Structure 1
Amino acid sequence: MRKIIVIGSMSIDLVVSSSKRPEKGETILGDNFFTTPGGKGANQAVAAARLGEQVYLVGRIGDDDFGKEIYENLKDNNVLVDGVEPVTQMPSGTAHITIADQDNSIIVVPSANNEVTIEYVKKHLEQLDSGDIVLLQQEIPSETVAFAIEYCDRNGMISILNPAPYREVSNQVIESATYITPNETESNAMFKGNMEDALQAYPKKLIVTMGDKGAIYHDGNRKVTVDGYKREVKDTTGAGDTFNGAFAVGLQKEYDIEKAIAFANLAASHSVTGMGAQGGMPTLLDLEGEWHV
């Protein structure tokens, strides 16, 4: 079976929920506060590990209490942690999340995630086989992301770039990636608002996610919409990460692109029913009755 290797960030999420977001200079009372493991890399690895097999994470944590919590949570979720090592010169990453109006806003402080260097990643990529799946996001250095995408292209591996949080991506990276999975906002930033043209220019590569409306891609002949699912929303944090982790698992199961997207849409819809980035991420058992292989 193909291995899934997630290269990306790990953090502790500090989450506050309230009835509204404060205006500039305003202090308001919140409804709830909790901390939970997160980071886009860790989230996507956990999402994939709950649904698939042989899921590895490559990244860095601080040599601190947050780092120990992150590491233990990965092991508890059956993520293989051979590629997770602590650094001593900086703390673990954190994300500061505000939940209000059934949506979230986030400030990410990368810290140890900035130590996911080309040299660090290269030694792990060299252990992979042709056909293995590499999943990346953009909470680690941009040069590392570009190196990994281009390495996969040269060596016959499948790469998935989730360009979140958005920053400019070179044409070389876009051409080299097997799949690119922005949401609508990220797609508009990446392609200057020309999403329709971009879908046609990158058939079976560009997949634009649209929340509970599903996702769209171009199959080479026409634009295809893969329907989403509506759920009672508790917290949207981690829905995109669940989509990407599940999409990688769909490819691991050798689904075609449309079926892999449908599987990812279903998993992402479950994720919004729990609190925290990882709280609602489903297992295969959770999808029973709604998904038939």
Structure 2
Amino acid sequence: MSVTVVGSVNEDVLVAVARLPGRGETVVGRSVIRAPGGKGANQAAAAGLLGPGVHMVGRVGEDAAGDRQLAALAGSRVNVSRVHRTPGLPTGTATIPVEDGSGENLIVVQPGANEALTPEDVDVEPVHRADVLLLQLEVPLDAVREAAATSGGRVVLTPAPPQPLSEELLALVDVLVPNEHELVQLTGATPGERTPAELVALAQRVAGPVVVVTLGARGALLVLRDGSPALLQPPPEVTPVDTTGAGDCFTGALAQALAGGQDLPGAVRYAVAAAALSTTGEGARGGLPGDDEVQAVLARVPQATEVA
């Protein structure tokens, strides 16, 4: 079993705040922590801690931040031989204020070396032979398309940050994993709160892949293409500290479960448990669990329910 991630590698700057700022508002941070991040690298780290055979394809700068990010990935059992150094560009960064108590956050990304990833970078053996290929949209879209087109395994795409996706790209994707806000933007719907049934209707408007909508504390919604009912999978109860990176943990766990042969409902159940556990530590990776921890909590995961 193998998982390859093509995507971003960032250094996160986490700022603790009493409450998140509104538009045009200034709040004073309590503390600052530098931590590994990037949607691609976060997914790779989550998958690496949950199982073997994880490779990362991406770019970092020729700087100390790049050194730290490569070491962090390697420490999460990720093969980084296809992460290239990029002269003249810094390693990507993300500034993340995190609200005390709720753990909710805002994220501002400066891509840096991630913007230099090319189609040639991703036309490599770890992409060709992976059982599951994970993609996101924090690197150039032509590299994402090339990776999806040359993959020999199941392709999983997180459409974040959201942007229009061509029918050509969607046709190459097996599983699309948006959160509810990304799903709304992807379908051109009006922003607003929606019931699970309304989210299912939106997901069915996306042509092609199976859709798994992450819903934060409500779990995840699995919308299949075989005519069977959609499933709402609630998470186990945890006490969240920081929700940063929970969606990336979900996707990394989903990939490892699929690579290990689980069906989609089982993989979503496993991923919901892993993502819930990830919120119990600080930063995008501070709470990432191992497989033993996820297995221990699976008995507490509520059963999925059908969504009419």
TM-score by length of structure 1 reads 0.92
SS at match of 1:206: strand
What is the CA deviation profile of residues 111-155 of structure 1, one whole-angstrom value per residue up to 9, with x for unaligned ones?
Answer: 100111111111345x633x6211011110112112222333xxx
Q: How does 1:168-183 map to 2 (within 5 A)?
A: 168-183=164-179
* Cα 1:216/1:28, change in 2 over 3 Å: closer
RMSD: 1.9
Instruction: Please say if residues 60 and 91 of structure 2, whose CA atoms lie closer than 8 Å, have aligned partners that are also in contact.
Output: yes
Instruction: Please say if residues 58 and 124 of structure 1, whose CA atoms lie closer than 8 Å, have aligned partners that are also in contact.
Output: no
Task: State the match for 2:112 in structure 1.
Answer: 111
**Which stretches in structure 2 are left out of the alignment for 5+ residues?**
190-197, 300-308
What is the deviation of 1:27?
A: 4.1
Task: State the match for 1:164 in structure 2.
Answer: 160
User: Separation in 2 of the partners of 1:287 and 1:26?
Assistant: 39
What is the deviation of 1:29?
A: 2.5
Q: How does 1:262-273 map to 2 (within 5 A)?
A: 262-273=269-280
Aligned length: 286
What is the deviation of 1:186?
A: 0.5
SS at match of 2:221: strand
* Cα 1:248/1:23, change in 2 over 3 Å: closer
Task: State the match for 1:282 in structure 2.
Answer: 289
Instruction: Please say if residues 212 and 229 of structure 1, whose CA atoms lie closer than 8 Å, have aligned partners that are also in contact.
Output: no
What is the CA deviation profile of residues 189-229 of structure 1, one whole-angstrom value per residue up to 9, with x for unaligned ones?
Answer: 11123743343455871111111211112332212112222
Residue 248, structure 1, aligned to residue 255, structure 2: yes
User: Separation in 1 of the partners of 2:96 and 2:30?
Assistant: 13
Residue 232, structure 1, aligned to residue 239, structure 2: yes
Instruction: Please say if residues 204 and 257 of structure 1, whose CA atoms lie closer than 8 Å, have aligned partners that are also in contact.
Output: no
Identity percentage over the alignment?
A: 34
* Cα 1:204/1:190, change in 2 over 3 Å: closer
Task: State the match for 1:211 in structure 2.
Answer: 216
SS at match of 1:263: helix
What code does the residue aligned with 1:280 have? G
User: Separation in 2 of the partners of 1:165 and 1:279?
Assistant: 22
Task: State the match for 1:96 in structure 2.
Answer: 95
SS at match of 2:292: helix
* Cα 1:32/1:196, change in 2 over 3 Å: same
Task: State the match for 2:122 in structure 1.
Answer: 121
What code does the residue aligned with 1:266 have? A
User: Separation in 1 of the partners of 2:229 and 2:23?
Assistant: 46
Q: How does 1:28-107 map to 2 (within 5 A)?
A: 28-100=27-99, 101-107=102-108
User: Separation in 2 of the partners of 1:190 and 1:168?
Assistant: 6
**Which stretches in structure 1 are left out of the alignment for 5+ residues?**
none
TM-score by length of structure 2 reads 0.87
